[in-house]
Amino acid sequence: MIRGDNSLEFVDIVDEYGKPTGETVERGKAHSEGIRHRTAHVWIIRRNGKQTEVLLQKRSLKKDSFPGQFDTSSAGHIQAGDEPLDSALRELREELGITADKEELRFVDTFKIQYETEFYGKMFRDNEIAFVFIYEKPIDISELILQEEELDAVEWFELEYVYEQCCAHNPKFCVPIGGLEVIRNDLKGGKIGRSISYPT
Q: What's at 74, amino acid-wise? A: S
What confidence score (pLDDT) does residue 60 get?
93
Domain residue extents for the chain? 10-188
- Contact criterion met (CB below 8 Å) for 36 and 47: no
Name every residue whose Cβ is closer than 8 Å to that of residue 38 and which is 6 or more positions away in sequence.
11, 12, 14, 18, 20, 77, 78, 84, 128, 129, 130, 131
Taking residues 46-62, report their average pLDDT. Answer: 94
Percent share of the chain, pLDDT over 90: 76
- Output the pLDDT for position 64: 75
Instruction: Say what the pTM is.
Output: 0.89
Check pLDDT > 60 for residue 5.
no
Q: Supply the pLDDT for residue 80.
A: 96
- The three-state DSSP-derived secondary structure of 107-121 is EEEEEEEEEEEEECC
pLDDT at residue 118, rounded to an integer: 79
Helix intervals (H) in the chain:
27-33, 84-91, 159-167, 177-188
Q: Has residue 200 got a pLDDT over 70?
A: no
The torsion angles phi and psi of 84, rounded to 5 degrees, stand at -55, -45
**Cα 26 from Cα 58, distance rounded (Å):** 26
Condensed to tens digits (0 to 9), the pLDDT of residues 179-199 reads: 999 999 999 886 555 666 655
Give the mean pLDDT of 108-123: 85
Is 73 in contact with 55 (CB distance < 8 Å)? yes
**Position with higher pLDDT, 4 vs 24:** 24
The arithmetic mean of pLDDT across residues 27-31, rounded, is 91
Which class is domain 10-188? alpha beta
- The mean pLDDT of the chain is 90
pLDDT score at 61:
92
